[in-house]
């Protein structure tokens, strides 16, 4: 008999399968023992990790993931589990019996992505969820069946409804509910960020930022890439003594002994020209930037930055007659965005320009690309700046938010709070009387006197022009004909032409 449960061919197939399993288990065992031996020889007390195993499994057609148990997966999808005691067994996932979808999000913007989340029962189920679109296929909508990441192109019509369900692997269990997303208009003119993996990396840019008060060298880092231009940011607050502002902004304080980073203005609402206040000399000097509002012709708000949507979003949302462009916060923004005033920092590359700090839209776009990928997960909190009034921007953690601040408690639990690209200093302790840095965008507060800032405790909120605990992190925009490359493989990026 050649077929049937006891047939020769069946037995031969089973024997071959068992031989394959035995060989795979031997590979896993050898990898584990090798990793354990290295741990012991290095006097390490921690258990063998998935990372340790991946080092040993290189070129073996297998990879490890997870922790207690670690799951080793071969290219043929055979899986083996390893517990903390080193016990190795053929891995059989605990099946799903029920799936419920989290559905806090109801909208998705054109040109955006988000990752959906499912709750499995039992809670220790290890079988993976499979994601499915319901209904007719929609051109421009892509759903990753394994991860639940859904991407909507900028061409998908607004108000289009997308319905998603989840199943187990053999689709015998279907989620008890579905998620329906409505496609809404994109709220920023900025194109989707590119090359996110470069964010935070050092760039060799020929403008010296000096040292901080502790003697550490400041460097330039990649902050944002909008697909057309790359934006660099100072790695930390820049000492006022290293700013040396030109006379176009008046006599900016240079060496304050107690407040060496603080950059702020005198509150003089009756004067059309803002003033920069000096703690050291107890005097104020006229800002004298030659403009009284944010869209004057000598500011980048009317040309390049407007084209990139950094200010145009606000301008388009507010009628010209109601736009409070002569308010104090508009003048603060004008000061921070005057490219003439910050030209010292643009001298490192031909065609570059500089401003005094990231705009709100740039900061949030950069944050969302790197850390704000899932509004369902507090650790990956997505931020929004969708709404405006005649005074400036609203911010928040939902599409229709009209808040003036995002709390420390919200931001401190995110993965991005420990990223020095966004928070050079964390906690509640002042760094030489500096507790954060200015954002080059006005707040929606109806007093017209408040500017956005990023604080060390995670808070994103507003402050008056006389707030004397905020520093400056200049931003440089490189010309569109360049790219960044790690020529020397030293993790320092160089600027190369002909992008």
Q: What is the DSSP letter of 228?
A: S
* Beta carbons within 10 angstroms of residue 380's beta carbon: 18
Strand partners, 80: 72, 90
Are 136 and 214 spatial neighbours (Cβ–Cβ below 8 Å)?
no
What's the pLDDT at 6?
Answer: 52
Domains of the chain and CATH, by start: 8-90 (no CATH), 98-184 (2.60.40.10), 196-482 (no CATH)
What's the pLDDT at 466?
Answer: 74
Question: What's the CA gap between 291 and 299, in Å, rounded?
Answer: 8
What's the pLDDT at 205?
Answer: 95
Phi, psi of 345 (to 5 degrees): -80, -10
What's the pLDDT at 195?
Answer: 65
What's the pLDDT at 259?
Answer: 83
Question: What's the CA gap between 265 and 325, in Å, rounded?
Answer: 17
End-to-end CA distance of the chain: 68
- Residues of the chain with pLDDT below 50 are 1-4, 8-16, 188-193, 246-255, 268-310, 320-321, 499
Question: What's the CA gap between 286 and 344, in Å, rounded?
Answer: 20
Nearest CA-CA partner of 368 in 330, 325, 334, 397 = 397
Residues 6+ apart with CB under 8 A from 93: 79, 125, 126, 127, 128
* Beta carbons within 10 angstroms of residue 205's beta carbon: 21
Are 53 and 35 spatial neighbours (Cβ–Cβ below 8 Å)?
yes
Question: What's the CA gap between 142 and 183, in Å, rounded?
Answer: 13
Are 346 and 391 spatial neighbours (Cβ–Cβ below 8 Å)?
no
Beta strands in 280-405 (DSSP E): 283-286, 353-355
285-316 pLDDT, tens per residue? 333 333 344 444 344 433 334 434 445 556 55
Question: What's the CA gap between 390 and 394, in Å, rounded?
Answer: 11
SS3 113: strand
Structure tokens at 281: 């000399």
Strand partners, 74: 62
Residue 324: its H or E element: none
Residue 415 sits at the vertex; the CA angle it makes with 398 and 93, to the nearest 5 degrees, is 95
What's the pLDDT at 334?
Answer: 74
DSSP string, 247-277: GGG-------SS-SS---EE--TTSSS-EEE
Residues 6+ apart with CB under 8 A from 139: 155, 156
Nearest CA-CA partner of 260 in 328, 211, 208 = 211
Residue 418 sits at the vertex; the CA angle it makes with 414 and 422, to the nearest 5 degrees, is 90
What's the pLDDT at 316?
Answer: 58
The size of the chain, in residues, is 499
Residues 6+ apart with CB under 8 A from 487: 494, 496
Are 340 and 303 spatial neighbours (Cβ–Cβ below 8 Å)?
no
Return the exposure string of 211-225: e unless at least 16 CB atoms fall within 10 Å of the residue's CB, then b: ebeeeeebbbbbbbb
Question: What's the CA gap between 238 and 269, in Å, rounded?
Answer: 28
Strand partners, 276: 265, 285
What's the pLDDT at 11?
Answer: 43
Longest dimension (CA), the chain: 103
- Is residue 193 exposed (0-12), middle (13-18) or buried (19+ Cβ within 10 Å)? middle
Are 465 and 265 spatial neighbours (Cβ–Cβ below 8 Å)?
yes
**Residue recorded with tokens 């208009």:** 185
Instruction: Output the CA–CA distances (angstroms, integers) from residue 143 to 116, 148, 162, 178, 461, in the order listed.
Output: 10, 6, 10, 14, 35
Q: What is the DSSP letter of 431?
A: B
Q: Regarding beta strands 179-184 and 107-109, do their DSSP bridges make them parallel or antiparallel, or are they unpaired? A: parallel
Structure tokens at 284: 């104020």
What's the pLDDT at 146?
Answer: 85
Strand order in the sheet with 79-82: 62-66, 70-74, 79-82, 88-90
């Amino acid at each position: 008999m050649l077929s049937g449960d006891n047939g020769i061919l069946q037995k031969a197939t089973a024997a071959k399968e068992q031989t394959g399993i035995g060989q795979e288990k031997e590979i896993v065992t050898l990898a584990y023992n090798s990793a354990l031996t290295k741990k012991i020889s290095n006097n390490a007390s921690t258990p063998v990790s998935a990372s340790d195993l991946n080092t040993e499994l290189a070129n073996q057609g297998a990879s490890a993931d997870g922790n207690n148990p670690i799951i080793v997966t071969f290219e043929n999808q055979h899986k083996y589990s390893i517990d903390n005691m080193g016990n190795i067994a053929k891995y059989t996932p605990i099946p799903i019996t029920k799936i419920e979808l989290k559905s806090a999000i109801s909208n998705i913007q054109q040109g955006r992505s988000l990752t959906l989340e499912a709750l499995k029962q039992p809670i220790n189920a290890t079988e993976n969820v499979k994601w499915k679109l319901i209904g007719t296929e929609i051109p421009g909508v892509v759903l990753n069946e394994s991860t639940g990441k859904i991407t909507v192109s900028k061409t998908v019509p607004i108000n289009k409804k997308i319905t998603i369900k989840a199943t187990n692997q053999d689709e015998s269990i279907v989620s008890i509910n579905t998620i329906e997303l409505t496609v809404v208009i994109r709220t920023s003119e900025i194109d989707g960020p590119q090359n996110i993996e470069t964010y935070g990396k050092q760039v060799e840019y020929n403008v010296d930022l000096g040292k901080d008060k502790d003697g550490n060298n400041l460097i330039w880092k990649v902050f944002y890439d909008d697909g057309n231009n790359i934006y660099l940011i100072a790695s930390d607050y820049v000492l006022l003594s290293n700013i040396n502002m030109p006379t176009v902004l008046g006599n900016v304080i240079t060496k304050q002994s107690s407040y060496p980073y603080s950059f702020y203005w005198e509150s003089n609402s009756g004067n059309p020209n803002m003033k920069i206040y000096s703690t050291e000399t107890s005097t104020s000097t006229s800002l004298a930037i030659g403009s009284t509002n944010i869209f004057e012709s000598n500011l980048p708000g009317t040309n390049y930055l407007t084209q990139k949507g950094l200010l145009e979003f606000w301008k388009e949302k507010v009628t010209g007659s109601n736009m409070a462009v002569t308010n104090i916060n508009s003048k603060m923004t004008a000061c921070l965005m005057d490219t003439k005033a910050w030209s010292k920092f643009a001298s490192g590359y031909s065609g570059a320009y500089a401003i005094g700090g990231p705009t709100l839209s740039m900061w949030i776009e950069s944050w969302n690309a790197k850390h704000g990928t899932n509004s369902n997960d507090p650790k990956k909190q997505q931020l929004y700046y969708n709404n405006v009034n005649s005074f400036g921007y609203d911010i928040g953690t939902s599409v229709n938010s009209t808040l003036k601040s995002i709390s420390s408690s919200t931001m401190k639990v995110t993965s991005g709070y420990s990223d020095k690209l966004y928070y050079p200093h964390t906690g509640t302790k002042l760094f030489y009387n500096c507790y954060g840095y200015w954002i080059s965008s006005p707040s929606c507060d109806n007093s017209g006197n408040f500017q956005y800032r990023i604080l060390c405790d995670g808070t994103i909120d507003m402050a008056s022009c006389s707030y004397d605990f905020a520093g400056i992190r200049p931003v440089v925009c490189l010309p569109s004909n360049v790219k960044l490359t790690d020529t020397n493989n030293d993790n320092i990026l160089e600027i190369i032409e002909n992008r």
